[in-house]
Chain A
Amino acid sequence: MRHILSLLMENEAGALSRVAGLFSARAFNIESLTVAPTEDPKISRMTIVTSGSDAIIEQIMKQVNKLVDVVKVVDLNDTRHIERELMLIKVAAKKTDRAEIKRMVDVFRGRIIDVTENSFTIEMTGTGEKLDAFIQALDERLILEVVRSGVSGIARGDKAIHS
């Protein structure tokens, strides 16, 4: 089953490689991994999307927790949560296609953030599924380039990860 793990870690050099190395050394899956500093510059927050049986997820949680740099790890699947991913996608946009693409971007609540004579660059956020759906909806031949951030997740409600 797919799980979203959220973790806080000391913002030390090499901390990311410890987590990534742990996943590869123990043959755990990583679907996506994002990391950036938090409001406290000494702490980074990482969101990892992984998959596995309950026993494997339990091992992943324990092994990640065991890393000396890791302050806290939570499995967002245990609570109601929100996940979002950012995608930037560059498409060929000749005069004849422009209106159709613009309409599609509006339907998916994206934004066109860069325009040239021949292309649009579109910004879109949402769940991974929504971004997949947008890609599916476009004419494959028009897609020039896709970049996705991987999932960021946060629990719903007023409870914070620190508490």
Chain B
Amino acid sequence: MAKKKEILRGAEIFCRALKDEGIKHLFGYPGGAVLHIYDELYKQDAVEHILVRHEQGATHAADGYARATGKPGVVLVTSGPGATNAVTGIATAYLDSIPLVVFTGQVSTHMIGNDAFQEVDSIGITRPCVKHNFLVKDVKDLATTIKKAFYVATSGRPGPVVVDIPKDVTADSCEYEYPDKVDISSYKPVVKGHPGQIKRAAELILSAKKPMIYSGGGVILGEASKELTQFTKLLGYPITNTLMGLGAFPATHKQFVGMLGMHGTYEANMAMHHCDVLIAIGARFDDRVTGDLEKFCPYAKIVHIDVDPSSISKNVPVDIPIVGDVKHVLKDLLAILKSDGGQKPDAKALKAWWKQVDEWRALDCLKFDRDTEVIKPQYVVEKLWELTKGDAFVTSDVGQHQMWAAQFYKFDKPRRWINSGGLGTMGFGVPAAMGVKLAYPDETVACISGEASLVMCIQELSTCLQYNTNIKILSLNNRYMGMVRQWQEFFYSSRYSHSYMEALPDFVKMAESYGHVGMRIEKSSDVEGALKEALALKDRTVLMDFVTDQTENVYPMIASGKGHHEMHLSSDKDRELA
């Protein structure tokens, strides 16, 4: 006998659907339009609700959770300002293709369009920064829509999905049934790559004399690090990762030549410029990566593997596009490369190429001054890497500290490096770290930040206390918006227009007032001890205020409109190779 379906209210359906979807954490903030839902959340314990202090924090925390685990991050906010506050976080996830499902409350259906209290057109506002969004007008559609939202957010090229739920829908009742799967006839993500294209790509890859592998965040999103690593080791080719792709291939492996792009290593960028075959995997030829498109990889034939057809030939025309899930395509490529009697890479040419790459590498482009008592920000990141054995989860905010984190923390595993690469959202680091720590309570989670970014979502320190998410915040405090200052120094004749942080708070007292541990570190020789002490405080959130060199700049640097071979290596003219 078929089980009789239960009749549930919309708010109950919401909670049950999350449970049936296997959701463990929900980041949110209550308000009028979602009060029915909050009442149901109160009555259940399948889903843990994390009360943030600002809706932006909710989206970043859910985003950090998603980046670290690969599972969708889930957010619940109220209508109006709740929804608009969440938008920055939604856009952040959109630019980096992170699976989020964001539920926004809405005024009751009969009020929509009447400029009701706390009403905004959430669907309209979020439309340009979501993968898709839904307005649920009837409680009968609620369960299916939730299922669709999770399906769309997590499949194909992932991304955020917004579900707008009017208050009356959460009060209405209907039979509850959560579908096992949904079919959207207009949405069919490609999985397998075209076999003919894969064969052609394999031939080109094996014919290379100066090959280069350039992989991005798609490899991490597609859970294809293992395949990428096998593929790269099997070929013996040099590999660079984008900012979003760090950790997809172990950074300590000799074939890894560092990050590429605007603040990439000399060896990575020079190898890009001179390569004859470029193998782009799950990367999107972002402007911070390519520099001047006219000067991009002038000698290379390009293979591009991506799950999103619109990424292919968007900025750079490619010779062999392969649309498909990177994991599947890499498996297919590996099968061809491993087949008996097949062609092998040109060992002689490869040896000569490596000799060249190693010469570039010998320049040691990430060198910095170690004989100083003034704290060099690079040194702090390097020490963190050493002390955590390269195995911490590291989030960051945006600016100079982000670049130093990317350059000096050598990520050997995917999903360890969590930053807002596409949108460049200051304020991301702390809430994201909180989300990671909830997912992995036993792991070390560090947030590398700067004093300007840090205060943008500082209110989440309260959330950290409430949920015992003990993160370690390393604030590289140079009393400037460092990256803005760097650009003003280079391109605006050192006119530091509004980039100086006057009237900073006492960060130690601030940490303490939030119930955490604060430390101020002013000398290089104190860095290691302070980090050890902070890392040992496993059950406390620690805010380390490192007073760093005020005028340190991020090198190497490719200025906007320049090519990969036109890098600045330091302010020292002797090292100008450009």
Cβ A68 vs Cβ B310 within 8 A: no
Stretch in B57-65, B125-133, B553-561 touching the partner: B125-133
- By beta carbon, the residue of chain A nearest B132 is A68
Interface size on B, residues (CB 8 A): 19
Contact between B124 and A66, CB atoms less than 8 A apart = no
Report Cα–Cα, A42/B317, bound state, in Å.
37
> Is residue A4 within 8 Å, beta carbon to beta carbon, of the partner chain?
no
| CA of A13 to CA of B312, assembled, Å | 30
User: Is there contact, CB below 8 Å, between B184 and A14?
Assistant: no
**Cβ-based interface call for B32 (8 A):** no
A14 and B187 in contact, given A58-B313, A62-B310, A65-B309 (Cβ under 8 angstroms): no
A66 near B308: Cβ-Cβ < 8 Å = yes
Check A17/B131 contact, CB under 8 A, given A59-B314, A65-B309, A71-B186.
no
Query: In the complex, what residues of A have CB within 8 A of residue B132's CB?
Result: 68-69
Instruction: Name A63's contact: one of B127, B185, B310 (CB within 8 Å).
Output: B310
Q: How far is the CA of A59 from the CA of B184 in the complex (A)?
A: 23
Instruction: Give per-residue flags for A53-69: 1 if the beta carbon is below 8 A from chain B beta carbons, else 0.
Output: 00100110011011011
The answer to the question of A36 belonging to the interface, with a C-beta cut-off of 8 Å to chain B, is: no
Is A10 interfacial (CB-CB < 8 Å)?
A: yes
Binary contact readout B302-328 vs A (1 if CB under 8 angstroms, 0 otherwise): 000000111011100100000000000
How would you classify the secondary structure of chain A's contact residues: helix, strand, loop or mixed?
Answer: helix
Q: Are B152 and A55 in contact (CB under 8 A)?
A: no
Q: Tell whether A17 pairs with B186 under 8 Å between CB atoms, given A63-B310, A68-B131.
A: no
**Which chain B residues border A17 with CB–CB below 8 Å?**
124, 127
A70 at the interface (CB under 8 A from B): yes
Q: Is the CB of A14 within 8 A of B186?
A: no
Interface bin, chain A: 10 to 19
The chain B residue sitting closest to A69, CB to CB, is B186
B530 beta carbon closer than 8 Å to chain A: no
Number of A-B contacts (CB under 8 A): 39
> Is the CB–CB distance between B308 and A68 below 8 Å?
no
- Provide the residues of chain A in CB contact with B312, threshold 8 Å: 62
For residue A2, CB closer than 8 A to chain B, the reply is no
B310 touches A13 (CB 8 A): no
Q: Which residue of A lies closest to B157 (CB)?
A: A66
Q: Which residues of A are found within 8 Å of B128, using beta-carbon distances?
A: 21, 25
**Which residues does chain B contribute within 8 Å of A70, judged by CB atoms?**
186
Q: A residues within 8 A CB of B313?
A: 55, 58
Residues in B with CB closer than 8 Å to A18 are 127
Cβ contacts under 8 Å, A65 to chain B: 309-310
Distance A63 CA – B313 CA, assembled complex (angstroms)? 12
Interface residues of A in 78-125 (CB under 8 A from B): none
Name the residue in A62, A65, A71 with the highest tally of chain B Cβ atoms < 10 Å from its Cβ.
A62
Determine the chain A residues whose CB is within 8 A of the CB of B171 once the complex forms: none
Asked whether, in the complex, the Cβ of A14 is within 8 Å of the Cβ of B317, the reply is no
Contact residues of A between 41 and 58, Cβ < 8 Å to B: 55, 58
Q: Tell me whether A9 is interfacial, beta carbon within 8 Å.
A: yes
| A13 with B135, Cβ < 8 A, contacts A55-B317, A69-B186 known | yes
Residues of A within 8 A of B131 (CB): 68
B310, A59: Cβ atoms closer than 8 Å? yes
Q: How far is the CA of A18 from the CA of B186 in the complex (A)?
A: 14
User: Within residues 1 to 18 of chain A, which ones have a CB less than 8 A from any CB in chain B?
Assistant: 9-10, 13-14, 17-18
In angstroms, Cα B187 to Cα A68, docked, is: 5
Please tell me if the beta carbons of B135 and A66 are within 8 angstroms of each other in the complex: no
In angstroms, how far is the closest chain B Cβ from the Cβ of A79?
21
B35 / chain A contacts, CB cutoff of 8 Å: none
Cα(A68)–Cα(B152), bound, Å: 8
Residues of A with C-beta under 8 A to B317: 55
Contact with A along B282-315 (1 / 0, CB 8 A): 0000000000000000000000000011101110
Distance of B120 from chain A, by nearest CB (Å): 15
Q: Is A10's CB under 8 angstroms from B310's CB?
A: no
Complex-state Cα separation, A55 to B131, whole angstroms: 23
Would you call B123 an interface residue if the criterion is a C-beta within 8 Å of the partner chain's C-beta atoms? yes
Q: Is the CB of B186 within 8 A of A9?
A: yes
Are the CB atoms of B127 and A68 closer together than 8 Å? Answer: no
Bound: A18/B187 CA distance, A: 15
The smallest C-beta distance from A46 to any residue of chain B, in angstroms, reads: 13
In the assembled complex, 14 residue pairs joining A and B whose CB atoms fall closer than 8 Å, in A order, are: A13-B135, A14-B124, A17-B127, A55-B313, A59-B310, A59-B314, A62-B309, A65-B310, A66-B310, A68-B131, A68-B132, A69-B132, A69-B186, A71-B185
Given contacts A59-B314, A68-B152, 4 further A-B contacts (CB under 8 A): A10-B185, A14-B135, A55-B317, A68-B186
A-B pairs, top 10 by smallest CB distance, nearest first, are A62-B310, A68-B132, A71-B186, A68-B187, A25-B128, A62-B309, A63-B310, A66-B310, A10-B186, A21-B127
